[in-house]
Amino acid sequence: MGFEKFGVVSFTSQSRASAFVDYLEKGEVRGTKCRSCGRVFFPPRADCSWCMKSDVEWVEIKGEGTLVSYTKVNYGPTGFEKEVPYILALADFNGTKVFGRFNKDVAEDTVKVGMAVKVSPLNLSEGRISYEFLPA
How far apart are CB 32 and Zn ion at their closest, in Å? 10
- Best CA proximity match to 111, nearest among 85, 83, 88: 88
Q: Which of 48, 56, 119, 122 binds Zn ion (CB under 5 A)?
A: 48
Which of positions 6-35 make contact with Zn ion (CB under 5 A)?
A: 34
Rule CB under 5 A: is residue 54 a binding residue for Zn ion? Answer: no
Rule CB under 5 A: is residue 50 a binding residue for Zn ion? Answer: yes
Rule CB under 5 A: is residue 120 a binding residue for Zn ion? Answer: no
The strand pair at 116-123 and 129-135 is best described as antiparallel
Q: Which of 51, 84, 116, 134 binds Zn ion (CB under 5 A)?
A: 51
How far apart are CB 17 and Zn ion at their closest, in Å? 15
What whole-number distance in Å separates Cα of residue 97 and Cα of residue 11? 22
Q: Decide: 1 and 18 in contact? Cβ < 8 Å.
A: yes
- Using a 10 angstrom Cβ sphere, with 0-12 exposed, 13-18 middle and 19 or more buried, the burial of residue 86 is buried
Rule CB under 5 A: is residue 40 a binding residue for Zn ion? Answer: no
Residues found near Zn ion in the complex (CB under 5 A)? 34, 36-37, 48, 50-51
